[in-house]
Amino acid sequence: MLVFYLLVTYVILQFGWWAYLIYDLNKQILLQKQEIVQLETEHFDAPLLDHGVFTQELDKRFWMVIGEGSIFLLILILGALTIRKTFVKEMALSKMHKNFLLSITHELNSPIASIKLALQTLEKRTLDNEKRNLLVSNALSETSRLASLVDNILLTTKIDDSNFELHTEKIDLSELLQSNLDRSIAPKLSNHHLITKIEKGHFAAVDFLAFASILANLMENAVKYSPEKSTITVSLTSQQNKLIVAVADEGAGISEAEKARIFDKFYRVGNEDTRKTKGTGLGLYITKYLVRAHNGQLIVRDNQPKGTVFEVHINQFQSDATE
Predicted confidence at residue 157, as pLDDT, reads 81
Helix (H, G, I), strand (E, B) or coil at 247: strand
User: Phi and psi dihedrals of 307, rounded to 5?
Assistant: 110, -165
Its CATH class, for the domain covering 169-322, is alpha beta
Specify the domain boundaries for CATH 3.30.565.10 within the chain.
169-322
Average pLDDT score over residue span 222-239:
90
298-307 per-residue burial string, b: 16 or more CB within 10 A, e: under 16: bebeebeeeb
CATH code of the region 1-164: 1.10.287.130
Yes or no: say if 202 and 174 are a contact pair by the CB < 8 Å rule.
Answer: yes
Distance of CA 86 to the CA centre of its chain: 15
Cis peptide, bond prior to residue 305, ω within 30 of zero: yes
The per-residue pLDDT for range 313-323, each reduced to its tens digit, is 999 876 544 44
Query: Boundaries of CATH 1.10.287.130 in the chain?
Result: 1-164
What is d(CA 300, CA 282) in angstroms, rounded to the nearest whole number? Answer: 16
Q: What is the pLDDT of residue 245?
A: 95
At 106-154, the pLDDT tens digits run 777 888 888 998 889 988 888 888 888 888 888 887 887 788 788 888 8
CA distances from 68 to 25, 55, 65, 71 (A): 16, 20, 5, 5
> The dihedral of CA 249, 186, 202, 214: what is its sign?
positive
More reliable by pLDDT, 68 or 137: 137
Q: 12-62, pLDDT tens digit by residue?
A: 776 677 667 666 766 777 676 667 666 666 655 544 445 566 566 666 766
Q: What is the pLDDT of residue 273?
A: 39
Cα 212 to Cα 155: distance, rounded to the nearest angstrom: 13
Measured distance CA(216)–CA(141) in Å, rounded? 14
Which of residues 62 and 305 earns the better pLDDT score? 305
pLDDT band at 274 (very low <50, low <70, confident <90, very high): very low
- Cα angle 23, 24, 28; round to 5: 120
Give the pLDDT band (50/70/90) at residue 263. Answer: confident
Q: How far is CA 159 from the centre of its chain?
A: 13
CA distances from 38 to 31, 32, 43, 204, 210 (A): 11, 10, 9, 93, 88
| Amino acid present at 78 | L
Instruction: Determine how β-strand 308-315 pairs with β-strand 193-198.
Output: unpaired
| CA–CA gap between residue 107 and residue 128 (Å, rounded) | 31
